[in-house]
Amino acid sequence: MSFLQLTQGPLWYLASAVFVIGVAWRLIGLLRLGRGPDRSVARRSGVAGALKAIALHSVPHGGNLKRTIYHFVTGYGFHLGLFTLLFFAAPHVAFIKGLTGLSWTPLPRWGFLIAAEAAFAGLILMWLRRMTDPVMRRLSDADDHIATWLVFIVMLTGCLALQEAHDSLRALHLLCVEALMIYFPFSRLMHAFTFLVARAYTGATYGRRGVTP
C-alpha cells in the first residue's frame, strides 16, 4: 500500500470516524447537561432572540469596532478565506464529488489565490497577536497554539500540492488534514460548532428580556 493509498483509505476513514463521532459526542453531551426552565415572564420571544444572535452577532455592534478592528479584519479574512478554500477550491470540489457524488462550480484560479492570501495573512497575523499582545499571551494555552499550527500546516501543505502533479504532496496534505480531524473534537477547534450553542443561549436570554443587539 502506497503512502497515498494509506492516507486516502484506512487513515481517511479512521479520521472521519473520530471527527464525526467526537463532534457529535461533544455536542450531544453538552446539550444533555440540560438546564432548568426560565420562569420569568418574557418580554419578547427567546427563540427569535436565539436565531437573531446566531446571525446578527457576527455583525459588530456596541461601538467597539474601532477597538477590535485588528481581530475583526484578521478574523474575518482568515475565516472567510478558509471556508472559501474548504468548499470551493477545485481539488476540494473534486474530492467531495468523489466522496458524495455532489458537486458544484469550483472557484477560478484567481478566486483561489485571493481566498488563500486572505486566509494565510489572517491566520499568521492572529497568531502573531497571540504571541505579542499581553492580554492574549495571558489567555493562551497549548491548545490555542497547537490548533493554530495544525490549521496552518494543513493550509500550507494544501497550497504546496497546488500543482496536483505529485502524489506524495497530495498524500502529505491528506495526512495533515487527518491529524487535524482527529485533534478537532478534543480541542478548542470545537468552537466551530459550540459558537452556535453559546450564541443561542445568550440570544435567548437577551431576547426574552427584550434587549435588541
Partner 1 sequence: MMTNPIAPKTAHLAGPGLLAGVLALLAALLLTLALAAPAMAQTVRPPANATTNVLPPGPEMRGGVLGNRSDGAIWHDIRKGAAGESQDLRAGSGVLIQSQGEDWRLIRNQWVLPIAWKVLAGVLAVLIVFFALRGRIRIRGGRSGRVIPRFSLVERVVHWFVASLFILMGITGLIILFGRPFLLPLIGPGAFAALASASLQGHNLFGPIFIVSITALFVTFARGNGFRWVDLKWLLKGGGMLGGHASSGRYNFGEKTWFWWASLCGLALSLSGLLLLFPDHLPGFLQTASAEVPPERTLMQWATLVHAVAAAAFIGFGLGHIYLGTIGMEGALEGMTRGTVDETWAKEHHDLWYEDHKAAASANASRAEVRAAAGDV
Partner 2 sequence: MKDLAETPPRKIDTQAAIDRFLAACNSHVGAYLDACIHCGQCSQACHFHEATQDPKYTPALKLQPMTRVYKRHKAPLSGIKRMFGLVPPELTAEYLQETEELIFQSCTMCGRCTEVCPMAIDVASVVALSRQAFVAAGLGPADLLQAAENSRDKGSPLGLTPEVLRDRIEWLSDDNEVEIPLDRDKAEVLVTVSSIEMMKYPDSIVAVARLMNAAGLDWTISTKGYEATNFGVLSGRSDIAKTMITRLTDAAESVGAKLLVIPECGHAYGAMRWSGANILGRPLPFEVLHITELVAKLIRDGKLKLKQAAESVTYHDPCQVSRRGGATGAAREILAAYSSDVREMTPSGNHNWCCGGGGGVQAMASAAALRHAVFQIKINQVEATGAKTFVSACANCRLTMDESREVLHWPREVQSLVEVLADRLEG
Q: Which is nearer to partner 1, 140 or 187 (CB)?
A: 140
Binding to partner 2, residues 118-147 (CB under 8 A): 130, 133-141, 144
Q: Tell me which residue of 74, 15, 55, 45 sits closest to 196, measured CA to CA.
A: 55
Q: Which amino acid is at 50?
A: A
Query: Which option in partner 2, partner 1, none does residue 88 bind, with CB closer than 5 to 8 A by kind?
Result: none
Is 132 a binding residue for partner 1 by CB under 8 A? The answer is: yes
Is 167 a binding residue for partner 1 by CB under 8 A? The answer is: yes
CA angle, corner 121, sides to 120 and 123, nearest 5?
Answer: 65
- In the numeric block, which cell numbers belong to residue 75? 478574523
Is 101 a binding residue for partner 2 by CB under 8 A? The answer is: no
Name residues whose C-beta falls within 8 Å of residue 82's C-beta, 6 or more positions apart in sequence: 119, 123, 151, 155
Q: Name the one range near partner 1 by CB under 8 A: 7-15, 26-34, 101-109, 119-127.
A: 119-127
Q: Tell me which residue of 150, 82, 92 sits closest to 116, measured CA to CA.
A: 82
Distance CA 53, CA 212 (A): 9
Is 153 a binding residue for partner 1 by CB under 8 A? The answer is: yes
User: Within 10 A of 202 (CB to CB), how many other CB atoms are there?
Assistant: 16
- In the numeric block, which cell numbers belong to residue 55? 446571525
Task: Report the nearest approach of partner 2 to the CB of residue 11 (Å).
Answer: 20
Is 59 a binding residue for partner 2 by CB under 8 A? The answer is: no
The residues of the shown chain that bind partner 2, judged by CB under 8 A, are: 22, 25-36, 38-41, 43, 53, 57-58, 61-64, 67-68, 71, 75, 130, 133-141, 144, 185-186, 188, 190-191, 194-195, 197-199, 201-203, 205-206, 208-213
